[in-house]
Amino acid sequence: MTTPSGRTVVATGLLLAAAAVALLAWVAGGPAAAPVQPWIGDAAAITAAVLLLAGIAVLVDGLGDIAATAPLWLRAIALATGVAVFASFAVLVSWLAFGPGPRVFASIAALLPSGDGRELAGRCVVGTVALIGWALTLLVTVLGAIRLAVRPKPPLPAVQAKD
């Protein structure tokens, strides 16, 4: 696998951060800027946070794996950012599934007969996705903590050949 260039990494991180800023600007415009249900703005704000965290993760991690010999604080920041990205997606999907207010699940509704069961079915499907998101967040957290706890072994000294 090839490692992306420094320019690609910086461009990707800045693009994600710019998308977050644009989304937050749209949310700040309020209902007059976009005539949608109020909860859409909340979901957009969470999505913007995810995009911003992903941009930071790309810049810190460089689209690759941080070396085990990197300083502990850098590896901890990378782990915290990755966990925050997973948790943000899980929060967003959980809120869609379990939050108050009516929801319209158009893609799921096409598969179901008309009636009040569409919202319940949509919430069940999205709730399942939310549970998977939380499970993945837990998995990333535990595996990352294990990787932080394991100290890299120092390299073996070079053996000199005798003449």
Same domain, 31 and 43: yes
Domain boundary among 15, 37, 64: 64
In a domain, 158, yes or no: no
Same domain, 133 and 88: yes
Mean pLDDT of 56-85: 75
Structural domain harbouring 126: 68-152
Q: Cα–Cα distance between 143 and 97 in angstroms, integer? A: 27
Q: What is the pLDDT of residues 11-22, one digit of tens each?
A: 877 888 888 887
Q: What is the pLDDT of residues 51-66, one digit of tens each?
A: 887 777 777 666 556 7
In a domain, 92, yes or no: yes
pLDDT of the residue at 128:
93
pLDDT of the residue at 138:
95
> pTM for the full model?
0.64
Res 1 pLDDT > 70 = no
Whether 126 and 90 have beta carbons less than 8 Å apart is answered as no
Q: Cα–Cα distance between 163 and 14 in angstroms, integer? A: 55
Domain count, the chain: 2
Residues 6+ apart with CB under 8 A from 61: 78, 81, 82
Same domain, 98 and 35: no
